[in-house]
């Protein structure tokens, strides 16, 4: 993460303890060279690598959630900057507001000139507050919609990056019709005749995520999550307990691989070992490559076919039993 020290997560604690032990022994070794100690350290280092791999190969859903929410995880602006240093941001809903939690702009993605849209969590505290911790106001969705229509007019493919706990649940947001802002985006996205690809890069939280997620292809980063309600919300409603977050994570099937198995998403994008926050450039390149792959396929389709493709995709979603009448 650009030379900054990476904040460890709770489930990484054993790894951290081992690393501290190794460090201590290395200090000891420096003061007092000793062949036996050297062998011990070598063994511990091997153990460390083994532990790390096994830890990341066996993450529980709640661990994925922790990585997806890591405060140093790359955000929309980090991707846009890496993809196109000269990307041009488009501001505002034209009606009185420019929501920092929703970022929109023009960018060059390989050969594709695209409209980029993404939620933004904010890094520093002030920034986080301005971005409402990544929870857009209705005006943010309306800004996205204005730009969706712009992309439709000029035949620009649309790339949406999703990383939001959900739409902001505030008094003003309700009064300015958060529900309608989301609903309208769902309908209008369904009707576009340009390619739309969405990537869940962190948290995909409920309707607030879906409002920029009605895409021809839905991709997810390996450790990102996507769910109908936050696991905390789910636990408190269904278990009536704040302790059952891990159970809620498990029950809801919110990880990238589970959702891929369910057929809801189309591709899982590999992250650097330990998560995207360990290497922004790696993550950004992987996402870029995945997007270019999808766009290359989608741009073979005509406008009406793209719309039909999107309609068909969501038409199939759901699971039910059809009894004999």
Considering only residues 219 through 278, tell me which ones interact with its own copies, judged by CB under 8 A: none
Least distance to its own copies from the beta carbon of 175, Å? 5
Q: Going by C-beta distance under 8 Å and a sequence separation of 6 or more, which residues neighbour residue 220? A: 199, 200, 204, 226, 256, 259, 260, 265, 267, 268, 269
Per-residue x/- track, 84-103, its own copies (CB under 8 A): ----------xxx-------
- The verdict on 36 binding its own copies (CB under 8 A) reads no
Closest CA to 171 of 138, 211, 124: 138
Contact 224, 203 (CB under 8 A): yes
Among 52, 123, 128, 150, binds another protein (CB under 8 A): 150
| Phi, psi for residue 280 in degrees, rounded to 5 | -60, -40
Closest CA to 223 of 19, 9, 48: 9
Considering only residues 173 through 212, tell me which ones interact with its own copies, judged by CB under 8 A: 175-177, 180-181
Least distance to another protein from the beta carbon of 74, Å? 23
Q: Which is nearer to another protein, 60 or 91 (by Cβ)?
A: 91
Among 73, 143, 223, 288, binds another protein (CB under 8 A): 143
Among 19, 37, 44, 184, binds another protein (CB under 8 A): 184
- The verdict on 51 binding another protein (CB under 8 A) reads no
b/e burial code for range 151-175 (CB count within 10 A of at least 16 → b): bbeeebbbbbbbbbbbbbeeeebee
- The verdict on 85 binding another protein (CB under 8 A) reads no
Least distance to its own copies from the beta carbon of 171, Å? 11
- The verdict on 198 binding another protein (CB under 8 A) reads no
Length of the chain: 325
Q: Which does 123 bind (CB under 5 to 8 A by kind): its own copies, another protein, none?
A: none
In sequence order, what E strands does 130-182 have?
Answer: 158-164
The residues that bridge with 269 in the sheet, in sequence order, are 221
Residue 227 C-alpha from the chain's centroid: 12
- Which sign does the torsion angle of CA 193, 319, 266, 56 carry? positive
What is the size of the binding site for its own copies (CB under 8 A)?
Answer: 10
Considering only residues 88 through 117, tell me which ones interact with another protein, judged by CB under 8 A: 88-99, 106, 108, 112-113
Least distance to its own copies from the beta carbon of 321, Å? 37
- The verdict on 251 binding another protein (CB under 8 A) reads yes
| Phi, psi for residue 52 in degrees, rounded to 5 | -60, -50
Considering only residues 150 through 179, tell me which ones interact with its own copies, judged by CB under 8 A: 175-177
Q: Which is nearer to another protein, 72 or 97 (by Cβ)?
A: 97
Q: Which is nearer to its own copies, 177 or 267 (by Cβ)?
A: 177
Half-sphere exposure of 311 (CA within 13 A, CB side): 10
d(CA 160, CA 167): 16
- The verdict on 142 binding its own copies (CB under 8 A) reads yes
Q: Which does 238 bind (CB under 5 to 8 A by kind): another protein, its own copies, none?
A: another protein
Footprint of its own copies (CB under 8 A): 94-96, 138, 142, 175-177, 180-181
């Amino acid at each position: 993460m650009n030379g900054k020290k990476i904040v460890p997560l709770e489930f990484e604690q054993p790894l951290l303890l081992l690393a501290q032990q190794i460090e201590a022994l290395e200090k000891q070794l420096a003061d007092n060279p000793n062949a036996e100690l050297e062998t011990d350290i070598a063994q511990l280092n091997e153990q460390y690598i083994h532990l790390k791999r096994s830890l990341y190969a066996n993450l529980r859903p709640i661990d994925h959630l922790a990585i997806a929410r890591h405060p140093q995880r790359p955000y929309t602006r980090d991707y846009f900057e890496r993809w196109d240093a000269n990307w041009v941001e488009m501001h505002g809903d034209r009606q009185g507001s420019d929501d920092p939690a929703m970022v929109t702009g023009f960018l060059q993605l390989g050969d594709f000139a695209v409209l980029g849209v993404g939620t933004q969590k904010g890094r520093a505290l002030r920034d986080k507050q301005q971005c409402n911790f990544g929870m857009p106001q209705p005006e943010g969705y309306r800004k996205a919609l204005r730009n969706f229509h712009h992309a439709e007019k000029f035949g620009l493919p649309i790339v949406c990056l999703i990383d939001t706990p959900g739409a902001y649940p505030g008094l003003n947001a309700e009064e300015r019709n958060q529900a309608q802002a989301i609903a309208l985006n769902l309908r209008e996205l369904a009707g576009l005749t340009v390619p739309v690809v969405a990537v869940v890069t962190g948290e995909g939280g409920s309707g607030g995520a879906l409002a920029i997620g009605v895409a021809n292809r839905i991709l997810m980063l390996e450790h990102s999550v996507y769910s109908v309600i936050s696991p905390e919300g789910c636990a408190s409603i269904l278990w009536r307990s704040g302790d059952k977050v891990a159970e809620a994570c498990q029950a809801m099937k919110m990880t990238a691989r589970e959702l891929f198995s369910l057929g809801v998403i189309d591709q899982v994008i590999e992250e650097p070992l330990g998560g995207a926050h360990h290497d922004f450039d790696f993550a950004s390149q992987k996402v870029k490559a995945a997007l270019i792959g999808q766009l290359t396929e989608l741009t073979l389709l005509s406008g009406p076919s793209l719309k039909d493709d999107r309609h068909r995709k969501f038409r199939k979603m759901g699971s039910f039993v059809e009894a004999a009448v």
